[in-house]
């Protein structure tokens, strides 16, 4: 519990006017809001996240002084965790055992994609071993940055490659899926009603789920505890049939706006020559990663009740929060997608350090 209190006090201190760049953050939100409105008008997929991501990325690459410190992303991730957990209906636990073929395929994909991307980086860059290795891992941004720093990697390069991976995947997947399936994309299922229709009992359930989830996530020392803790508690509540609460659409739209803006702001403050060179390499790596993912999804679709598109989304190495939002918008069973991304997260978190230690000893 002490670590939780430390996190909360650290977050409160980070919001102090002397430490938090309020003007740059509000400017970034305004730029993101413009992008969201444009994407809504153009009927683009996931407009609140992809629109804000697009305009803030362009602004950051253009040298605009914008910022979105990680402290503002945490409560938004918490909201997404509660939302994703709300998609776990009582029959999900019974069906989970039927997903083992795709989960096995996901574990094999983690090995294949990490190895492929590592070979790509060693062939086309002059990065040292640690930088190449932790840039190639298909997930776990914060954990990979920590490990890269501990083992002599270039933290900024690793951060940039993971940011570009998420940027390209989050932006391209909805467009690819819409082209394949021809489906519309609106957030429904775990959301859908207005905040003015929220009942007090539902608000109490949401608040309690969020608080208990954060505590449980810290007590269990979960990776991405602010996401997985609330997701676990929300899923347990809905799977047990204790409540059927949903989140208002306005809340999810705000969460998407802040998440999209924060991803775009990651590119602020980097020299243009450096960022464009690394950006090209990162985009190339991500394309390779998507090709490998598509091949595994195609193979796994032969052993699953789900077709290529749901498995491709479940296997895609974007962020858990971002991919869950895409699944909601696509009306694909979010529990299926989220479960696979949780497994991928634990595979990467547990396997990457172990594999690195073994390779380092062999070398």
As beta bridge partners, residue 191 has 247
Q: How far is CA 299 from the centre of its chain?
A: 24
Torsion of CA 101, 103, 105, 108, to 10 degrees: -140
The Cα–Cα gap between 36 and 44 comes to 9
Q: How far is CA 159 from the centre of its chain?
A: 14
The Cα–Cα gap between 128 and 125 comes to 9
Strands (E), the chain: none
Q: pLDDT band at residue 143, thresholds of 50, 70 and 90?
A: low
The residue written with tokens 């803790």 in the block is 229
Domain ranges, ordered by start, for the chain: 75-249+271-362
The Cα–Cα gap between 313 and 338 comes to 10
Residues in CB range of 204: below 8 A, 6 or more apart: none
How does pLDDT run across 246-295, given as a tens digit for each residue?
888 888 889 889 988 988 887 777 666 777 787 888 888 888 988 999 99
How does pLDDT run across 312-353, given as a tens digit for each residue?
988 988 777 677 777 777 777 777 888 888 788 777 776 777
Residues in CB range of 90: below 8 A, 6 or more apart: 238, 239, 240, 241
pLDDT of 26 reads 95
Q: pLDDT band at residue 188, thresholds of 50, 70 and 90?
A: very low
Q: Rounded mean pLDDT of the chain?
A: 82
């Amino acid at each position: 519990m002490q670590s939780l209190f430390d996190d909360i006090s650290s977050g409160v201190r980070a919001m102090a006017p002397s430490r938090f760049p309020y003007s740059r953050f509000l400017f970034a939100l305004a730029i993101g809001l413009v992008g969201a409105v444009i994407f809504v008008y153009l009927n683009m997929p996931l407009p609140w996240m992809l629109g804000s991501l697009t305009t803030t990325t362009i602004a950051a690459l253009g040298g605009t002084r914008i910022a979105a410190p990680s402290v503002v992303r945490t409560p938004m991730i918490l909201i997404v965790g509660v939302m994703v957990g709300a998609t776990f209906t009582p029959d999900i636990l019974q069906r989970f055992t039927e997903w083992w073929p795709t989960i096995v395929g996901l574990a094999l994909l983690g090995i294949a994609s990490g190895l492929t991307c590592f070979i790509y980086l060693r062939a086309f860059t002059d990065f040292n071993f640690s930088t190449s290795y932790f840039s190639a891992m298909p997930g776990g941004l914060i954990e990979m940055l920590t490990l890269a720093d501990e083992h002599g990697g270039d933290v900024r390069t690793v951060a940039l490659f993971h940011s570009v991976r998420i940027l390209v995947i989050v932006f391209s997947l909805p467009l690819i899926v819409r082209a394949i399936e021809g489906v519309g994309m609106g957030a429904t299922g775990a959301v859908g009603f207005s905040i003015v229709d929220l009942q007090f009992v539902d608000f109490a359930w949401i608040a309690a789920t969020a608080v208990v989830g954060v505590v449980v996530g810290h007590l269990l020392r979960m990776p991405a505890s602010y996401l997985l803790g609330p997701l676990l508690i929300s899923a347990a509540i809905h799977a047990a049939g204790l409540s059927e609460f949903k989140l208002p659409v306005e809340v999810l739209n705000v969460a998407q706006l802040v998440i999209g803006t924060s991803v775009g702001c990651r590119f602020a403050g980097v020299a243009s020559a450096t960022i464009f060179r690394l950006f090209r390499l990162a985009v190339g790596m991500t394309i390779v990663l998507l090709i490998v993912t598509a091949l595994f999804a195609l193979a796994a679709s032969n052993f699953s009740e789900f077709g290529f598109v749901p498995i491709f989304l479940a296997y895609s190495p974007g962020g858990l929060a971002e991919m869950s939002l895409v699944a909601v918008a696509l009306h694909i069973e979010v529990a299926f997608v989220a479960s696979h991304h949780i497994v991928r997260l634990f595979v990467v978190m547990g396997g990457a350090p172990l594999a690195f230690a073994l390779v380092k000893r062999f070398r």
